Amino acid sequence: MGTLLIMKQRNVGYKKVDAAIYSYKAWVAITDPDKLRSLGGQLLSQSGFCVVAFDEHHFEQEGYTCFWLLAESHLAIHSFPLAGKSYVELSSCNASKKEVFRKLLENDNIQAGI
């Protein structure tokens, strides 16, 4: 079982936003849970997202899933070790932060090219 980690919240205040969700989906050529956890956390921090909580689950045979609950929505990563790749999906009500996240991930040259 994973352990839910509640992050120390920073004061983000209230901001009125349009009822819209902006999504970004990608495959990356990383399956190591430690590297995926680090990658997700770093990308969120560098993109300016506010992390509210984090949780993860290691599957018995193989595979790993983790997610970050954000003030702006969520990020989930699911690994597929036999295929040598992981699926990254970000949903956000903040289009500009989503775009920074996308550019950072794509510039890291870690995408599987799929």
What domains sit in the chain, N to C, each tagged with a CATH number?
22-107 (3.60.90.10)
Q: What is residue 56's three-state secondary structure?
A: strand
**CB-side neighbour CA atoms (13 Å) of 58:** 8
pLDDT along the chain (114 residues), means of 10: 52 70 96 96 96 96 96 97 97 96 84 45
Q: Is the pTM of this model over 0.85?
A: no
**CB-side neighbour CA atoms (13 Å) of 32:** 5
